[in-house]
Structure 1
Amino acid sequence: MLQHTVNLPVTGRVESAPSGPLLVLTERLEGHDTFLSGSLDLNGCQLPVRILTFDDLTVLRPTALAELPEKDTRWTGILSLPHGLRPGAVPADLAEAAERAGRSLAALDLQQLRYALAYLGEASTEAIRQARIQVIVSALPEEARTP
């Protein structure tokens, strides 16, 4: 289910893009889920954002209209990640479901596994968690069977 919120002090600059303003972090986020939602406390205002971490930088894209500093302005804020840190280990219920189905979690590379675990970790109810386990397991390749 949902993990504890993590609050990170962040700094960055405002950039413009055709889709609207972007908040580019000074330092790339490491060890946190990306392409998920969060909230940035910017000067006491809560700004919902989409977190986009690429190879060399992290960008926050506001998901609601808000007054932002002007382009190239430096800013400081607190980024709240409701999904917490990336999960490190495969939870027992997922591992057991994969084993029962004859599917292999080992076929996933580290990035795919982190994505699947983050997806599972954001489940807000047990019913949603079970449905997400089924989705993940059904997407896994079947384990090679020995004759």
Structure 2
Amino acid sequence: MTRSSESIPVRGTTRYDEHGSLLVLEHRLDGHDTFLSGELDLGEGRVPVRIISLDDVTVLRPMHRLPAPAPTWAGTLHLPHGLRPRTIPVDLAEAAQMHGRDLGALDQAETRYALTFLGEATTEPIRAARLEAIVSALPLAGIEAA
């Protein structure tokens, strides 16, 4: 995959929930991964955000507390396409080995999806559940696929 970064001008409104601010985009982002991390520049530096695309709306969840954004805002969303980590994290490698599963059976796209799925976990319990889901889907080590 080509390592590049994409910058997209965005506009939206601010909403709040019990976890802080939600930045609701004026237009849905099409053709981009759901739950992808990026950075939003509102003119005062870049803020890491998690991108949550729903059926007809895209919401940005700041990963750190922000000073209260204006009710309406405009900025630039920076997406690090192809810059996701490709190395297998230690906890995934250990879990696969402990359960006798073969991580090497994943092709490049499957590895990318598995690492993205795991990397987007927001809490330790979610990460543990995602580790279990990935490992349980792997073939047993030493068994050839027919």
Moved over 6 A (4+): 135-138
TM-score by length of 1: 0.57
Q: Measured at CA, do residues 27 and 4 of structure 1 come closer, stay the same or move farther in structure 2, by a change above 3 Å?
A: same
- TM-superposed deviation, 1:137: 10
Q: Which among 78, 81, 84 is matched to residue 83 of structure 1? A: 81
Conservation of the 8 A alpha-carbon contact between 1:33 and 1:118: no
TM-score by length of 2: 0.57
Unaligned runs of 5+ in 1: 85-99, 106-112, 123-134
Letter in structure 2 aligned against 1:78? T
Q: Percent identity?
A: 48
Match of 1:30 in 2: 30
Q: How do residues 27-106 of structure 1 correspond to structure 2 at under 5 angstroms?
A: 27-70=27-70, 73-83=71-81
Deviation string, structure 1 residues 73-115 (Cα, Å, up to 9, x no partner): 111000001135xxxxxxxxxxxxxxx95x9x9xxxxxxx7x8
- TM-superposed deviation, 1:32: 0.7
Q: Measured at CA, do residues 140 and 28 of structure 1 come closer, stay the same or move farther in structure 2, by a change above 3 Å?
A: farther
Is 1:116 paired with 2:116? no
Unaligned runs of 5+ in 2: 83-103, 120-132, 140-144
Root-mean-square deviation (Å): 3.8
How many pairs align? 109
Conservation of the 8 A alpha-carbon contact between 1:41 and 1:79: yes
Aligned to 2:116, what secondary structure does the other structure show? helix
By relative contact order (CA 8 Å, sep 6+), the higher-ranking structure is 1
For the residues of structure 2 that align with 1:45 and 1:79, how far apart are their CA atoms?
Answer: 11
Aligned to 1:11, what secondary structure does the other structure show? strand
